[in-house]
Amino acid sequence: MLEGMTEANCIFCKIANGEIPTEIIFQSEQILAFNDIAPEAAIHALIIPKKHFRDVADLTTQDKTLAAELLAAATELAEQLTDGNFKLQFNTGAEAGQTIFHVHAHLLSNSPRKLT
Ligand code: 5GP
Ligand code: ZN
């Protein structure tokens, strides 16, 4: 995946606009969440703003309200899916492992919420 990727050829923009069908696990006006195609934990979801930002640094610089909304959505999803033990991760920059240059939070957990 090219680091210079823009909205035109961005896979997460295509998921957000429905061009690539994906099972949605959470949706609001501005936020979308879906399961990672290659899960690295029992729970591995990706939470994105529908609008394109390159990474979490760009998002936070350009729209703090949306950044807060992304964090709130990720945390709410974590509360629904896990027992409270989870990681939220933003890979930022190719050398830090970012491969898709549309900001996304990884929600990772091996502690699924127990059904009561
Ligand atoms: P990054 O390495 O950029 O932090 O994370 C990108 C993540 O997106 C990876 O964990 C990868 O498995 C996931 N991914 C890549 N392409 C797709 C896709 O088409 N659908 C879904 N659901 N996940 C994807
Ligand atoms: Zn995008």
SS3 per-residue string spanning 31-67? EEEEECCCCCCCEEEEEEECCCCCCHHHHHHHCHHHH
Print pLDDT tens along the chain (116 aa): 444 556 889 999 999 999 999 999 999 999 999 999 999 999 999 999 999 999 999 999 999 999 999 999 999 999 999 999 999 999 999 999 999 999 999 999 999 998 76
Ligand closest to 13 (CA) is: 2
> To test the ligand 1 pocket, which listed residue (13, 26, 35, 36) has its Cβ within 8 A of the most ligand atoms?
36
